[in-house]
Amino acid sequence: MSELHMIDPAAQPSSEATPTPSEPMVVQLASGFEKIGLAMKSRSWRREGRPGLGPLQRQILTLLRSKPGRTAQVSTIANELVVRLPTASEAVATLERKRLVRRRRTMQDGRVVTVELTARGLRACGPTAGAPDHLTMAIGLLPAAEQASLLKALVKVIRTLQNKGEISVARMCVSCRYFQPNRYPDPDRPHHCSYVNAPFGDVSLRLDCGEYEAAVPDQARDAWALFAGEQTATS
C-alpha cells in the first residue's frame, strides 16, 4: 500500500465529514429487500431440509392446518389466499404428489373436492416452516424492539403493495374485520382484536392468521388509515 493511502491510527475523526450514502434511503432499503429475496432463491437456502415447497404450497399447508379437521375445499383455498382457482388446484395437485395433502370427493356432492392435510403435511408446516433457518437466525439476533419495528414496517409495505394490486396477500390483521387499530392509548398494546376480544401490540400483528376474516372495503380502508396514520381511534 502506498503512503498516500495509509491511515494514521492516531488521527482524530473529523467532526465535519460524514460518509454520505450513495443512494437515497428508500433505494437502499429496496436494495436490501432485493438482496434478501435473491438469497432466498439460492439453492443452498432452498435445500435447508424443506421438502422443496414453494411459497404458495407452504401457505396452503398452513391454511389447512388452521382449519377444523385440517380440511378445506379448493375454492376456499383460492379465496382465502387470493389466487385463481386453477392456480390453487395446480398447487394442491403438486402437494398431493408429495403426499402432503390428499383430495377427497364429498359424500353429499361428488363434484365437491375437499383437500385434507396428511400427517406428513402437518410435519412440513411446523412453526418455522417457510422461513429459511438462516433468515430466522439472523432476525432472532435483533433486539425485541427492532423485531417489533421490522414487523410493523413489513406489514405496512406488504399492505401498500396489496392495495396497489402488486401482490395478493390475505389473512393479515390490517385487512381483517376483527382488527381495531390504535384503539387504546397504551403504546405497548394499542390495537384490539374483537375475535379474541383483547388488546394487543405491534409484536403480535399477524401476517397469516387462521381466524382472519376479510373486512368489507370501507372498514378495511378506515382501519388502514388509522393504522398507517398512527392516529388513535378516539382522537
Site for ligand SF4, rule CB under 6 A? 173, 176, 178-179, 193, 195, 206, 209, 211-212
Distance CA 141, CA 60 (A): 29
If we measure between CA atoms, which residue out of 171, 204, 161, 193 comes closest to residue 72? 171
Q: Which helix (H) or strand (E) holds 200?
A: strand 198-200
Classify 78 as helix, strand or coil.
helix
State in angstroms the smallest separation of the CB of 155 from ligand SF4.
11
- What is each CA distance from 14 to 5, 7, 10, 22, in whole angstroms? 17, 13, 12, 20
Cα separation of the two ends of the chain? 63
State in angstroms the smallest separation of the CB of 219 from ligand SF4.
12
Closer residue to ligand SF4, CB minimum distance, 56 or 212: 212
State in angstroms the smallest separation of the CB of 211 from ligand SF4.
4
Q: Cα torsion for 211, 215, 219, 220, to the nearest 10°?
A: 90
State in angstroms the smallest separation of the CB of 215 from ligand SF4.
9
Closer residue to ligand SF4, CB minimum distance, 50 or 177: 177
Closer residue to ligand SF4, CB minimum distance, 79 or 87: 79
Closer residue to ligand SF4, CB minimum distance, 101 or 227: 227
